[in-house]
Amino acid sequence: MVDVMVYASCLWTRASNKFLRKGSNMGMDVYGLNPKKRVEKSQEFKDILSKYGEKVGMFLDWNKKIPKDVMHRYYDIKEQYEQDNPGIYFRNNVWWWRPLWDYVCVACSDIVTEEDHRQGHSNSGRRISKTKSKKIAARLRKLVKDGTVKDAEIVNAEMRGEAIRHNTKVDARLEQLRLDMIKMTGDKNIAPKDYPNKYRKQWANIYGESKGIADYPFSEENVIRFISFCDDSGGFEIC
């Protein structure tokens, strides 16, 4: 059984490292290296790829002039195809991925390496073998079944709730400082980088009290999706 408090310590470490609070849509694209095909491509999908796709793979060739209706249809079909074949592709934005990957690496510390953990938090293309991927899926499935993953979700929610309440107070102080700067300078659009030096440092100190964990959710549902991906991926690459 995973020690939930060990996982919690990962989250607090993330918060204390002052990861950026929300403001980016950056994400992790995780691709199966040899995914199991449960459902074949439809003829419509094949036709679109044949006419507008790249020579290899199932991506559109943006050097070609692609009608908007074809583009929209492509994305709909591709999304369904990936749902039918969960080992092909898994995506989280950075806010969901970091807690998930932390949990995986705590739960599977005897399967993945510290380097897997570190590089898995970047878009470096770190590869996880089929053997590791299968073991990760089996371990996580067991932890879902015995309720450990749900416990981690609850811990995450409690920590995030506390951090959100804390950050609300931080944001109120930042807003008051902004209003003071508008009154002082007469500039309604003044940004923190343009505050007078003394107040720019004050802004940085206040912002530094923010707890980044407020923006990093974790859920059992996301873990279950990742299990399906790992099981069918044939190993995966984190990009």
Interval 11-23: pLDDT, tens: 555 554 444 455 4
Same-domain check for residues 11 and 125: yes
Pair of tokens at residue 228: 């399906």
- Amino acid of residue 209: E
Residue 150 sits in the same domain as residue 234: yes
Residue 23: per-residue pLDDT: 47
- Run of H or E residues at 68: helix 68-84
Residue 6 confidence (pLDDT): 59
Find the helix packing angle between 94-107 and 130-145, rounded to 10°.
90
Same domain, residue pair 230 and 177: yes
User: Is residue 68 domain-shared with residue 172, that is, in the same domain?
Assistant: no
Closest C-alpha to 234, from 130, 89, 111, 121? 130
Q: What angle do CA 56, 60, 62 make, to 5 degrees?
A: 115
Domain co-membership, 48 together with 153: no
* Residues of the chain scoring pLDDT < 70: 1-25
- How many domains would you assign to the chain? 2
- Tell me the residue range of the domain where 57 lies: 39-84
- Write down the pLDDT at residue 8: 56
Domain boundary among 26, 50, 84: 84
> Do residues 114 and 174 share a domain?
yes
Both 154 and 48 in a single domain? no
- Facing residues of 224 across strands? none
**Cα 120 from Cα 90, distance rounded (Å):** 13
Please write the tens of the pLDDT for every residue from 140-197: 999 999 999 999 999 999 999 999 999 999 999 999 999 999 999 999 999 999 999 9
Whether residues 63 and 161 share a domain: the answer is no
Last residue of a domain, one of 26, 61, 84: 84
Sheet strand arrangement including 126-128:
89-93, 27-32, 236-238, 126-128
Where among 84, 119, 148 does a domain terminate? 84
pLDDT at 14: 55
Query: Are 15 and 51 contained in the same domain?
Result: no
- Type of residue found at 177: L
The span from the CA of 59 to the CA of 63, in Å, is 12
Same domain? For 133 and 103 the reply is: yes
CA-derived radius of gyration, the chain: 22
Strand partners, 27: 93
**Residue-wise pLDDT tens digits, 161-174:** 999 999 999 999 99
47 and 164 co-located in one domain:
no
Does residue 138 sit in the same domain as residue 107? yes
